[in-house]
């Protein structure tokens, strides 16, 4: 690991692990869920509120920040932590996924990706070297190597070609990252749903020697069953003494299944995005507060939850502010969802430490099968 950053596994239960990533800006308890602060903000939340939910680390987005307000401007203002008032660890993605999914008129070459901004059409070039430069300007604690993420389904030939390009870019990312004490660089395994390609990718990354490893190229449309089948073997290809990060996942049942299979870190926009569309996540599943069944209900969204939305407001109130498009609806439901996700992570960590993960997972699924409480 890079100087000043270390990872230790405290307990295992089957393939699942609980542990700690230590950084100069604080410890990250694993398995960890990282709320997504795309443009230097977790939407509808204050940073101190995000911390109050139990989050140890946030994710920032290289693509969005390089376009607006620009990495150079953030650096001049003291770096991303100071800029957004979050003084704990930040992981930044490399920008590769967003270039593929958001940018228009993109052209992929061995050098990198030339693209037009989705904001104003301005022209940009993103390479492994430029991605490392941007993430250094931002000052993130965990930096992701620049990669290409092909959309699935794709032919094995196309996936292999893309993966090998990403491995060449991984070496260039490592070379450009250099020696940065207190900062870590993670490599990204690719290979689609092909076991041989995943193994080839993992070996290439391990030979470069990263501080942690991501399983990339999943949660891109292949479905949960295919994702889990890859996770049944892919984490085992990666060095056991380094953190394993599953990018862009996910729903609570995706998270539980990933942790069972040896994943240490995850991120997803789902809890915050759901909160802005009137959706609340609870142990009983997803609840749509727009539904008329809630309009006269004085009960909290989840009686077992201690977040402000559940402690102080009724389902009837949440239904009202969501239907009226009041900003507080997004604020309360996002806070609740992030609180639920972090409570789920704490439950997983405790279960692994107690060698009781199977029982935890059984109860997790049994509760979801019950569905929402009966209407009031």
Indicate which residue of 254, 267, 302, 372 is catalytic. Answer: 267
Q: By three-state DSSP, how is residue 314 classified?
A: coil
Q: Report in angstroms the alpha-carbon separations of 195 from 51, 71, 233, 301, 365.
A: 38, 37, 8, 42, 28
Our answer to whether residue 93 is catalytic in this structure is yes
Indicate which residue of 13, 56, 93, 264 is catalytic. Answer: 93
Please report which residue ranges of 96-155 form alpha helices under DSSP H.
96-102, 128-138
b (16+ CB within 10 A) / e for 299-328: ebbbeebebebbeebbbebbbbbbbeeeee
Helices (H) and strands (E) in the chain, counts: 16, 16
Residue found by looking up tokens 């502010």 in the block: 321
CA angle 233/239/242 to nearest 5° reads: 115
Q: At what angle do helices 357-370 and 252-260 cross, to 10 degrees?
A: 160
Residue 9 in tokens: 């596994």
Residue found by looking up tokens 């402000």 in the block: 308
Contact (CB, 8 A) for 302 and 283? yes
Our answer to whether residue 56 is catalytic in this structure is no
C-alpha–C-alpha distance, residues 370 and 368, integer Å: 5
C-alpha–C-alpha distance, residues 371 and 364, integer Å: 12
C-alpha–C-alpha distance, residues 158 and 118, integer Å: 26
Residue found by looking up tokens 């999943």 in the block: 218
Chain centroid to CA 295: how far?
33
| Catalytic annotation, residues | 93, 267
């Amino acid at each position: 690991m890079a100087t000043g950053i270390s990872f230790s596994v405290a307990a295992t239960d089957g393939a699942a692990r609980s542990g700690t990533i230590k950084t100069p800006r604080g410890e990250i308890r694993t398995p960890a869920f990282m709320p997504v602060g795309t443009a230097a903000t977790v939407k509808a939340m204050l940073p101190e509120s995000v911390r109050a939910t139990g989050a140890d680390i946030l994710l920032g987005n290289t693509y969005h920040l390089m376009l607006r307000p620009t990495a150079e401007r953030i650096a001049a203002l003291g770096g991303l932590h100071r800029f957004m008032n979050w003084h704990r660890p930040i992981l930044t993605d490399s920008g590769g996924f967003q270039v593929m999914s958001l940018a228009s008129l993109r052209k992929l070459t061995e050098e990198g990706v030339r693209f037009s901004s989705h904001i104003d059409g301005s022209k940009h070039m993103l390479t492994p070297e430029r991605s490392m430069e941007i993430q250094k300007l931002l000052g993130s604690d965990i930096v992701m190597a620049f990669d290409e993420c092909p959309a699935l389904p794709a032919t094995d030939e196309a996936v292999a070609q893309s993966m090998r390009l990403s491995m060449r870019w991984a070496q260039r990312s490592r070379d450009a990252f250099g020696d940065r004490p207190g900062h870590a660089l993670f490599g990204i395994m690719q290979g689609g749903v092909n076991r041989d390609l995943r193994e080839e990718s993992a070996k290439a990354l391990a030979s470069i020697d990263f501080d942690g490893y991501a399983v990339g190229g999943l949660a891109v449309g292949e479905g949960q069953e295919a994702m889990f089948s890859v996770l049944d073997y892919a984490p085992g290809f990666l060095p056991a003494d380094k953190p394993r990060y599953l990018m862009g996942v996910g729903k609570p049942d995706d998270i539980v299944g990933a942790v069972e299979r040896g994943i240490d870190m995850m991120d997803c926009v789902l809890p915050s995005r759901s909160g802005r569309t009137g959706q609340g996540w609870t142990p009983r599943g997803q609840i749509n507060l727009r539904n008329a069944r809630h309009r006269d209900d004085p009960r909290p969204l989840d009686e077992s939850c201690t977040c402000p939305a559940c402690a102080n407001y009724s389902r009837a109130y949440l239904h009202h502010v969501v239907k009226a498009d009041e900003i507080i609806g997004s604020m309360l439901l996002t806070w609740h969802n992030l609180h639920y996700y972090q409570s789920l992570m704490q439950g997983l960590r405790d279960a692994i430490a107690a060698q009781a993960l199977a029982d935890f997972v059984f109860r997790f699924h049994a509760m979801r099968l019950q569905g929402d409480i009966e209407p009031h």
